[in-house]
Every structure is written in C-alpha cells, then in structure tokens.
Amino acid sequence: MQLKCVYFSPTERTKTVVREIADRLVRAQPNLFENVVYCDITPKPRRNSALSFEPSDYVIFGLPVYAGRVPNVLLSFLETMTGNSAAAVAVVTYGNRHFDDALIELSDLLRRKNFNVIGAGAFIGQHSFSKTLAAGRPDQQDLLALDAFALDLLAKGQVPLVIESIEGSLPVRPYYRPRNAAGEPMPFKGIKPVIDTTACTACGICAARCPMGSLTVEGHASVTGACIKCCSCVVHCPVNAVRFDDPYFEEHRLDLEKTYAKRKDPVWFL
C-alpha cells in the first residue's frame, strides 16, 4: 500500500497532525506501507488538476475547520476527486472553539467520492487568528493522542466507518457566523490584512504561501485578490509586517480567546 498524506494547511497545524499520524502508522507497521507520499494542496496551482487515487492507497486527508465546516473555497476542487475505493482517514484541525459539522462533512464528501472512509478524527491546532488560543497545539499531549489514534486505526483495519456516527449533523448546518455582544452577525466580508510597508522587505514569502494567490510584491507586498483570512501571510511574515487591523476581526479574536480558553481534547471515530 502507498500511504498518501493530503492536506490543506495555511498555518501548518493540519500538516503537522497529518504527518504525525503518518509517521506513527509507518512506525507501528513498517511492512504495511511501501512508501509515504505527501500532497500539499495549500498552494493554489496544486488545486488546478483533479486528484485520483488507487484502490491500494491509504489516504490521510486533512483540512482545517473554517466557520464550523470544510473551507468552502475548497469545495469545488474536492468534488473533482476520484477515490477509487482507496482507504481514507478524515482529519480536521480546529482552534479550540468547535469543529461543528466539518468532520462529518469531510467524511461524507470522501464517501461520495468513492473512498472507503475507515476513520475520522478532530484535533486541535493553534487558532489561526490568535497567539494565545490553543497556543502551541498540537503539543506533546496531542501527540500522545495521535499515538492512540494511529494504533486504533491499525487495529481496526479497513472496515468502513459509519459516517453517521461522527459528531455533527448531516445534512450539514449553515456556516458558523461570529456575532458581536449585541448578537448581531459580524460583517467580515471583504476584510483583508494590512501590510506595514515600512517594515515589509518584499521577500515574497507571503505571496508564495497565499493559498489564494492574492498577494503581489512590487516594492512591497499588497493584497490584490480575495482573502479567506487563513492568516498564512500573518503567521509566515518574518518581520511581522502583516496583520488584520479590522475592529470586528479584533473583537472576534478577543471574544474567542475569552470564551474558548478551556482546553479541548481530540476525538475520533472508527
């Protein structure tokens, strides 16, 4: 079997979780997998051609939770995949608020694309918007959970998972909408990061990493296209020249940090 790690991971927490699961599977059963293939679908050009799998593949498929769901910007690309009965493990990472319907949505999508979904797990990754919410996660304690998840997967073998047993709702519920103190939905549409042009060194890292291909660098970086607020540019800027300064965005971040400070634990379904 080939072990294939497929992930979309702008701030690299999902990437870490997926790769740690793969390492554990290989360590526990070195003879089961011929090799490990990594397929990072974060860069926009990687999503130009459809992904197709073999019946003998074992795929770990990881996405971050955005607004309680699979990131909507990926949906049309994911619909082009062909599973060909490959075994699949659905993985989502979330920033300690909740994964809502993201895990059941991803698992159901993989099933519809003809994967044999054998397991699904929701893990916690530092919140993309915050320096404190789930800071440093996945951490040592999460890695212990990944040990257990990998062993559980191997013990279970390729028996299909009953998707409806996954926490969440099918049909999926609407996207989670942050609300202000008065209970009104926050107007996030159109918010983009701002660049401190005096600090920006035009290194191009933000533009190279933007999963939407929405940054250009001419003298300094500017946001010239659509923004999904994934925070890749903010997190990866080596001189901290990129940030969101929108007051609603800031209010939401502070509210998340206050409301969801209590540590959540990974869960999985087999």
Ligand X SMILES: Cc1cc2nc3c(=O)[nH]c(=O)nc-3n(C[C@H](O)[C@H](O)[C@H](O)COP(=O)(O)O)c2cc1C
* Interface ranges with ligand X (CB under 6 A): 9-15, 64-68, 93-98, 125-128, 176, 229-231
Least distance (Å) from ligand X to the CB of residue 172?
13
Least distance (Å) from ligand X to the CB of residue 130?
8
Q: Which residue's Cβ lies closest to ligand X?
A: 125
H helices of the chain, in order, are 13-28, 75-78, 102-112, 140-156, 205-209, 232-236, 247-259
**Nearer residue to ligand X within complex by CB, 102 or 153:** 102
Least distance (Å) from ligand X to the CB of residue 169?
14
Would you give the DSSP letter of residue 203? Answer: -
Least distance (Å) from ligand X to the CB of residue 157?
28
**Nearer residue to ligand X within complex by CB, 9 or 116:** 9
**Nearer residue to ligand X within complex by CB, 53 or 123:** 123
- For residues 171 and 108, give the distance between their C-alpha atoms in angstroms, rounded to a whole number: 10
Nearest to 43 by CA among 262, 245, 232: 232
- For residues 6 and 53, give the distance between their C-alpha atoms in angstroms, rounded to a whole number: 11
**Nearer residue to ligand X within complex by CB, 111 or 264:** 264
Maximum distance among all Cα pairs of the chain, rounded to whole angstroms: 58
